Chain A
Amino acid sequence: MSVVDERLNALRGAAPRKPHNARTLAALAANPGCLRRTLLDAAGIDKGQIAQGLGVRISIGQMSSIAIARGKGFEAKVKADGCAELLRLLREHIGLPVAEVHYHDLNPADTDDRITSRLRRSRHALRVSAESNEPTGTLFDHPILQLTVNGVQVRIEPDLIAFKLGNQFFIVEVKSFAILDGTADSGKVAAAAQQSAVYVLAMREMLQTAGLDPDMVSDQVVLVCPKDFSNHPVAELLDVRKQLATLKRQLDRMESVESVLRLVPPDLSFDLRLDDAGRPTRDPQELAAAVFQVTARYSPECLGACELGGVCRSEASGMVPVLGRVVREDLGGIDSIKEAVELATGLREPDAGQQQASDLLRRAYGMREAALGAVR
């Protein structure tokens, strides 16, 4: 085990490593500048548990059980009868000339089926397929993929299907949001595109490690969703080139964990010290102090993208970032709300670097007072 790994494990303490999945990897793009998140993610620490340990409610990642049930039902429908529906879509909507298709089930054989052996099976199946020139299409159901993140090999267990036709692999993403009259929620499509980009990249990495051409994996992803108000599937091609570029760059240039580790005290730990019943016994104040040792980069978007949103928000309370990115930009680099207000009202003299922002705020405040004077 490398020194870095050792330190990361020490940070996590006794808690089991939280596995990455495409959603967590795609979420890296949500706030790539945040060191706190980078470190916790690299150490495989469950951020949700940390938030709970601090007594802060988590606002994300909660899915309605009703929605989950429906999503599962939809996926089952798409995959029923050896993916009959899916094949129909691939033929009709995407124009792939699929004649006969092999189906390769890579789902866990039973509850004991270990992920490492599934990974081995997936890798093998994909490689054999990549090397063969067989013209018929092949569907791979639930392969396990692996991607190097921050020097750490991350296994991804996507709910996905890979499809090979001729010399091309396509990722098929089944999602349960609707495509209504050819349009869909742009936030959800974006999330799907980001996740697909993770799969494409992971699959490319797998092929490359096997000495095969990574470009066999297409950057066009097949998105399958319910059509309009029904639960009949419809498919749409999604171009994920931009998401791939973003992801690659973020993985490449992500602050290497090593340099982040250098910034934190050697004895730092986020161990929750769970008791036998799984309840954290660590003093919340002490835990908070540990979390705050690592610099965050809070913006309100965090509330919808990171389990620590509430934690970092209260930490940033009184600071300009809690008001939003635009406000932060408008106030020209002044960090504290109090300071901004005092500069605006003339209670405080600006530092050398604040003169310009202060002038602007003072003018704005003057106009505000003049205009509101009449109504008050």
Chain B
Amino acid sequence: MTSPQERAEIKTAEILTAFTNGGRRGVVVDSPPGAGKSTLVGRIAAEIATAGDTVVVVAQTNAQVDDLVAKIATRLPGLIVGRLSRDGYLPPPTLLLPNVQVASRVDDLPDCRVVVGTAAKWAQVRSARTWPWAVVDEAYQMRSDLLLLIVPLFKQMLFVGDPGQLDPFSPIDGERWSGLPWDPMQSAVAVLLRNNPDIVPHELPVTWRLPASATRLVQTAFYPFSEFTPGTHDDERTIHVPTVGIRRTVADEVIDLAADTGWGFLELPHRNTLRTDAETVAATADVAVRLLQRGTETVCEHAPGGRRLTAARIAVGAAHRDQVAAITRALRARGEIADGIRVDTANRLQGAEFDITVILHPLSGRIDATPFHLTPGRLCVLASRHRHACIVVGRRGIPELLDAHPGTEPVHLKDFIKFPDGWEANQAVLAHLSNHRVSALH
């Protein structure tokens, strides 16, 4: 039996060889949540740069770029790393390193062995230059139209991304392109694979983030065709919550359950509500705050002796911006203790990692589901950000809602079919949660 570390290492070496020695124009790496995607990107960039070539790294958001620049520059103290940015960009303190250069024109970064920028920025580059290597991070979040613009800049490209995350978005109805192999609404990787069936994606085999308690569910619900295993055992990751004697609330109950099993579902009574349902919002905020009030401790491979859970290690996730705003307000009303808890939409939580997450279920209180709510990526992001436990808050009636949901979405010929279907993924998660339920009865 090889250890997870060994398996991950073997895979990384395989990817590196396939990319640098395989002579292929494109290599794709699929990564489940927390499988060390950006570590891989940083490492491959560093290896190519060390070998003496120039390499470009493409990410999707400025935060991702800043993060990668810091990682790579620290890894390569002897080489200069360029940060391609928009005009007027102010680098964060983490980038104030001696070997980082910032410029808004790529021609102003001639000495850099590694140049990092967003896809949108690379799509503006008008340089006569081309680069031998490019590594694209979060490639499933990039739309294929953007890929069209940057491909000519590079000779060989490595695409790394998480296929289970949210698809790129457009407010436009793209029906006129449906079924085209270069549908611009699809993700860069989907189009690339469709047009190059000979490219078989590599898969990273180990999730370092997800605890053993979450790996199975996330895998079967969202990655039915992948095989990955947790990097830790059940008993390597534990949560200790000091017990409460008197006035134990439902929030306490669901926290205790999640501390034991890694999952908790706080179920409020059924009612059709607005998106920003005050009771659900309050319950969500209560759970997050209670985790801190009770002095929760987490034990893991990084802190075998245990460490106190801090606000910064908690995330609260929701589907809509107005829900995020309402939860933020509810947390603020609960005093300073909640300062530093990250509250955000699934979109913006992509790629982030926390110890414990609290989620407002996207279908809570609704009468019907919409394609927005059923997008599997949305629930997948929300249910796969945690290292220890995930607590879901929602109103009763979600399975009934799903069962009553009309299965009459339009179908396009030759369309990109994505599996799993959101409806089924939602059912799978709910079935799992039903075994971790705490009812809040009024």
Chain A interface residues (CB < 8 Å from chain B): 29-33, 179, 182-184, 186-187, 189-190, 193-194, 223, 236, 238-239, 241-243, 245-247, 249-250, 253, 297, 301, 305, 325, 328-329, 332-333, 353, 355-357, 360
Contacts and interface: CB of A to CB of B under 8 A. Distances in A.
B1 interface: no
A33 B277 CA distance: 24
A238 B407 contact: no
Smallest CB-CB A-B distances: 9 pairs:
A33-B404, A333-B272, A186-B410, A246-B407, A332-B274, A29-B407, A190-B411, A189-B411, A242-B421
19 contacts: A29-B407, A30-B408, A32-B405, A32-B407, A179-B413, A186-B175, A186-B178, A186-B411, A189-B412, A190-B411, A194-B408, A236-B413, A238-B411, A241-B417, A247-B407, A253-B403, A332-B272, A333-B271, A333-B272
Contacts of A356: 273-274, 276-278
A329 B396 CA distance: 16
Contact of A328 (B278, B365, B367, B419): B367
Contacts of B423: 245-246
A196 to B, nearest CB: 11
Given A33-B400, A301-B406, A355-B278, 15 more contacts: A30-B406, A33-B404, A33-B405, A182-B414, A184-B413, A186-B410, A187-B410, A189-B412, A190-B408, A190-B409, A194-B407, A305-B408, A333-B272, A353-B273, A357-B273
B290 interface: no
A183 B412 contact: yes
A197 to B, nearest CB: 10
Contacts of B365: 333
A183 B178 contact: yes
Interface in B227-284: 271-274, 276-278
B367 A325 contact: yes
B424 A245 contact: yes
A297 B404 contact: yes
A238 B421 CA distance: 16
Interface in B403-442: 403-414, 417, 419, 421, 423-424, 427
Given A190-B411, A245-B421, A360 B274 contact: yes
A190 B272 CA distance: 30
Nearest to A252: B403
A30 B412 CA distance: 18
A241 B368 CA distance: 23
Given A32-B403, A33-B403, A190-B408, A183 B413 contact: yes
B132 interface: no
B368 A329 contact: yes
Contacts of B278: 355-356
Q: Among the interface residues B175, B274, B367, B408, which one has the most CB atoms of the partner chain A within 10 A?
A: B408
Nearest to A240: B411
A241 B403 CA distance: 18
B309 to A, nearest CB: 31
B313 interface: no
B294 interface: no
B179 interface: yes
Nearest to B422: A242
A204 to B, nearest CB: 18
B86 interface: no
Contact of A238 (B175, B368, B400, B413): B413
Interface string B357-400: 00000000111100000000000000000000000000000001
Given A190-B409, A333-B272, A239 B417 contact: yes
Contacts of B408: 29-30, 190, 194, 301, 305
Nearest to A304: B408
Contacts of A223: 413
Nearest to B365: A333
Contacts of A245: 421, 423-424
Given A332-B272, A356-B278, A32 B367 contact: no
Nearest to A185: B410
A182 B403 contact: no
A333 B178 CA distance: 35
A301 B410 CA distance: 14
A229 B419 CA distance: 34
Contacts of B413: 179, 182-184, 189, 223, 236, 238
A239 B413 CA distance: 9
Nearest to A242: B421
A330 to B, nearest CB: 8
A9 B180 CA distance: 51
A305 B271 CA distance: 27
A301 to B, nearest CB: 7
Nearest to B368: A325
